[in-house]
């Protein structure tokens, strides 16, 4: 993404099996600070401090994958 923009992520509804799977949002590339590991929530919003954001989904291999929606936007910095 162009350097003059920030990444914005909205998760309208998240309902994962908390002890089996989660989504993690990082403020930048994979080694960046985490906003936390989340498994439940409504209308979750995250904004990066730069033009990079990492979203990870993790689940135990014996657990079926859940479906969820993540909406990505770009916002002008500042």
pLDDT at 44: 97
**In whole angstroms, how far apart are CA 64 and each of 3, 43, 67?**
37, 24, 10
pLDDT, tens digit, 9 for 90 and up, residues 2-55: 889 999 999 999 999 999 999 999 999 999 999 999 999 999 999 999 999 999
- Which pLDDT does position 67 carry in this prediction? 92
Look at residue 55 in the predicted model and tell me its pLDDT.
Answer: 97
Whole domain around residue 59: which residue ranges?
5-76
* pTM exceeds 0.85: yes
CB atoms under 10 Å from CB of 48, counted, come to: 23
Rounded to the nearest 5 percent, the helix, strand and coil shares of the chain are 0, 55, 45
**Count of domains in the chain?**
1
CATH of the domain at 22: 2.60.120.290
């Amino acid at each position: 993404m162009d350097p003059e923009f920030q990444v914005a992520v909205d998760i309208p509804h998240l309902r994962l099996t908390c002890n089996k799977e989660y989504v993690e949002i990082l403020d930048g590339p994979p080694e960046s600070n985490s906003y936390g590991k989340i498994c439940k929530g409504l209308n979750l919003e995250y904004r990066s401090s730069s033009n990079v954001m990492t979203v990870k989904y993790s689940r135990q291999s014996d657990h079926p994958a859940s479906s969820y929606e993540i909406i990505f936007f770009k916002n002008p910095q500042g």
